[in-house]
Structure 1
Amino acid sequence: MGGGAVIRVLLGHRGALLRGALATVFATEDDLEVVAVIDHGDDVLPASVRGQPDVMVLDVHLPGAVGIDVLARRSAAGGVLVLSDRDLSAGASLRLVRQAPRVGLIATDASPGELVGAIRQIARGEPVLDPELMLAAIRVRDNPLTDRECEVLKLVTTGATAQEVARKLCLSAGTVRNYLSRILTKTHARTRIEAIRKAEQAGWI
């Protein structure tokens, strides 16, 4: 944000101590204004509507419904900086990296100065990607599933039956079962649960 503009920040973190410490750090910066502090993922979208932040700084383990899809939707209106520990799975890293530059990824062991600098970068629309996490992401194998197969598998993750998936996608139940059979073959899985686990870990869905 150039010209001395103030960057409005929403902070979401599961830990009360770190949440308070980060809010204090941000408040000492002349160009940062903390407009909301939350401790649960379900509050992300409501708080962002109220506070209209330029950048959301979110703990990757924030409890509640704050998945990659939510971040992608929110990042259309403003930047998101995800605080991640270094044991984040390669698949999760890949899904975050794909949202760059509006979704950034920084390690939780970054210094306060690095974190503040990253917020400014995100606000300017510049990418912020932790090198180690990015390296893990780019090592993920190419997705063998088609877009439709991914769509079917995502619906299965919600607990939907083949019949429910068919209704949702305007397909026949037999067609959905064929998709599921191909998904099991491509993921080398014996069950749908195993296919979901493998696909999520690999960042395919």
Structure 2
Amino acid sequence: MGGGAVIRVLLGHRGALLRGALATVFATETDLDVVAVLEHADEVLLATARQQPDVLVLDAQLPGDLRVETVMRRAPLTAVLMLSDRDLPAASILGLIRQTPRVGLIATDTSPGELVTAIRGIASGQTVLDQELVLAALRADDNPLTDRERQVLRLVTTGATAQEVARKLCLSSGTVRNYLSRILTKTQARTRIEAVRKAERAGWI
């Protein structure tokens, strides 16, 4: 984009409050023009075809069915900036990373100013990647723990007993104990606390 050009932005976010707040923030920037504000992924392709935005700012957990590859194919001149929670599965984050620089990735807890800067950057062809998200995803990609084992261990970090974990996950106490035994083996830990410490340090939970 040339200097001084207005960046046309399409915003899609699952939360009404945040959606409205972000739209307001963008509207205060003289070089950003919010052309559409959406709450569902199924609206994105049609709105993109109609509005021809320069940048899509999309919640990675926007409700509905949307593949970023489809957006890129249908709108080859549009860049996509994904807003990701830090607990988004590593596979999803790595899938987005492989599509840079046209797809950028930034954490949902970033500041409004940093988000606006990211929009300007990706609109001008720069690579926009949240380094902490990338590093966490790369570490988690080697995670030996299953999704259920991670759930169990996260509950253990809250101080929950095996019985309390079982109730929260609708499992039997015996099943939870089996999960905990496998977690200790995989993390090479002697106690649950040591397993938690090792898993957190490795970025597995």
After TM superposition, is the score higher than 0.5? yes
- In structure 2, the residue matched to 1:50 is 50
Contact 1:9 1:56 in 2 (8 A): yes
CA drift of 1:75 comes to 6.0
CA drift of 1:137 comes to 3.5
- In structure 1, the residue matched to 2:32 is 32
When the two structures are superposed, what TM-score results if normalisation uses the length of structure 2?
0.65
Q: Where does structure 1 differ by over 6 angstroms across 4 or more consecutive aligned residues?
A: none
Whole-Å separation in 1 of the counterparts to 2:53 and 2:4: 16
CA drift of 1:135 comes to 1.2
Contact 2:10 2:53 in 1 (8 A): yes
- In structure 1, the residue matched to 2:107 is 107
Q: When the two structures are aligned, how many residues end up with a matched partner? A: 141
Give, as a single letter, the amino acid of the residue that structure 2 aligns with 1:115. L
Whole-Å separation in 2 of the counterparts to 1:15 and 1:74: 26
Query: Equivalent residue of 2:127, what SS?
Result: coil
- In structure 1, the residue matched to 2:63 is 63
Query: Equivalent residue of 1:82, what SS?
Result: strand
Contact 2:12 2:19 in 1 (8 A): yes
Give, as a single letter, the amino acid of the residue that structure 2 aligns with 1:29. E
| 1:129 is the counterpart of 2:149 | no
The correspondence of residues 6-25 of structure 1 with structure 2, limited to 5 A, is: 6-25=6-25
Alpha-carbon distance change, 75 to 133 in structure 1, aligned in 2, over 3 angstroms = farther
Whole-Å separation in 2 of the counterparts to 1:9 and 1:76: 15
Give, as a single letter, the amino acid of the residue that structure 1 aligns with 2:107. A
Give, as a single letter, the amino acid of the residue that structure 2 aligns with 1:37. V
Deviation sequence 1:14-36 (CA, Å, 0-9, x none): 11111111000000000000001
RMSD of Structure 2 on Structure 1 (CA): 1.5
Query: Equivalent residue of 1:80, what SS?
Result: strand
Deviation sequence 1:47-87 (CA, Å, 0-9, x none): 00111000000001101111243344356321000000000
- In structure 2, the residue matched to 1:80 is 80
The percentage of counterpart residues that share the same residue type is 68
Bigger radius of gyration: 2
- In structure 2, the residue matched to 1:93 is 93
CA drift of 1:134 comes to 1.0
CA drift of 1:131 comes to 0.8
Contact 2:9 2:53 in 1 (8 A): yes
